[in-house]
Amino acid sequence: MGNIKLQILLKSTSIGINEIDKNGPRLNSIIEINPDALLIAEELDNEAATGKPKGPLFGSPVILKDNIDTHDKMPTTAGATVLKNSFPGTDSFVARKLREAGAVIIAKSNLSEWANFRAKMSSSGWSGVGGQTKNPYVLDRNPCGSSSGSGAAVSANLCMVAIGTETNGSIVCPSNNNGIVGIKAHSGPYQPYRYCSNIILSGYSWSDGTDSGRCCHNSGALTGIDSSDSKTIASKGKYLTDYTKFLKKDGLNGKRIGLQKKDMGFSDKVDSLMNKTIAYLKSHGAEVVEVEFPKGLNYEDASYQVCCMNLRTD
């Protein structure tokens, strides 16, 4: 894939190394640059020159949401100023898996402070450390959160893949608003984060996490068993490290896809895009079924209670 150091250099300069981005739009999608990114990339180049085996993400620039622990020169802040000098003593499970796969963690991304679980009127994509994350398509529009920085960074092509966390829309919403592919993984094979300073910060639900990016095949490199996490232990023998064999050209054939049509009718442009997407899905063999959520159920209150129950110390 060419000279990794050069590729990381190009990515890094676009997100702030040497403050090059002062002359362009500031997305505020990045909280911290990895000062060792170029050194790591150079080491990988040297490994490649000696013919050593390469991991599936060898040389890939990756950005982690800043509530995911990394044991390096970058703090893990959750966007909160009280943690701006918090340096974890160990890598999170997913950070370790990324390094083992050959990825270069080039930065930590901005987020809705405390993963958007701090106030009922919190601003999506804002943190005390990183300020307001901006949507790269329209700078004054909502990038959505809480993994707003990860979504905006991928959309702006600052990295190949970014890692976020989700309990209640914190991946699917930034992916939607920033025009990228988002994967909301189920509990079990993934354990993207560990807890920071004995307080649960990462997605505010200890049981869920995910990654967002343009390349879905990165998922295999992040699966595995974390001996300290019962959710992943239960996945022993039930996960793969390579999911690319499931990528098929006719993969939509026979699939039933739900459409909540009541969300349409507010914008002609959005409706036009939706109708084109529906037609595309059908032309490739999918069955699009109109669905409605049951009436009379207060999902927001139930969701809030679930989030509160997931808060814990560790």
240 residue type, one letter: L
120 is written with which tokens? 């009922």
| Measured distance CA(292)–CA(277) in Å, rounded | 19
- State how far Cα 111 lies from the chain centre: 10
38 is written with which tokens? 């170029």
CB 28, CB 66: distance < 8 Å: no
Strands (E), the chain: 30-33, 61-65, 104-109, 126-127, 131-132, 161-164, 182-183, 210-213, 256-259, 287-290
**Is 84 designated active site?**
no
Active-site residue (options: 170, 175, 202, 212): 170
| Measured distance CA(68)–CA(28) in Å, rounded | 18
Active-site residue (options: 5, 11, 65, 108): 65
Active-site residue (options: 12, 60, 92, 146): 146
* Beta partners for residue 288, in sequence order: 257
**Is 146 designated active site?**
yes
**Is 272 designated active site?**
no
Which segments of the chain does DSSP mark as H helices, in order? 4-15, 37-49, 93-100, 148-155, 172-178, 219-222, 230-233, 268-283, 299-310
Q: Which residues are catalytic?
A: 65, 146, 170
